[in-house]
Amino acid sequence: MTQTATPEKTGARTDEAATLIGDARERIDALDDRIIGLIQERMAVSAVIQEARITSGGRRVNLAREMEVLGHYSDALGKPGTTLAMTMLELCRGRI
């Protein structure tokens, strides 16, 4: 159920701005839902990789690969990207 965006709820000073903010927040909420779904999917794929690695006698974590991921996020998003990647990698480790 969508609530009506009002200046009081959004911090806007006009009804027009409140509507714009409310609509943008709905889009952000939808994007967040998609991002969460993608992270959950990544966690599942990571578990498959870890299980295959362990079953073949390898280690659960491949640090060289994690460094590649950290670099990719850092290149794309700067320093906050590194923090985001670290959190994502933490979520994806040790689920098996």
What's the confidence (pLDDT) of residue 12? 83
Q: Residue 72's pLDDT band (boundaries 50, 70, 90)?
A: very high
Question: Would you give the end-to-end CA distance of the chain in angstroms?
Answer: 37
Cβ neighbours, 10 Å, residue 55: 9
Closest C-alpha to 88, from 51, 29, 35, 34: 35
**What is the per-residue pLDDT across 15-66, written as a single tens digit (0 to 9) for each?**
888 899 999 999 999 999 999 999 999 999 999 999 999 999 999 899 999 9
Q: Sign of the C-alpha dihedral, residues 76, 77, 81, 84? A: negative
- Report, in this order, helix, strand and coil percent for the chain, each rounded to 5: 75, 0, 25
User: Which DSSP letter does residue 56 get?
Assistant: T
What's the confidence (pLDDT) of residue 79? 97
Is residue 88 over pLDDT 90?
A: yes
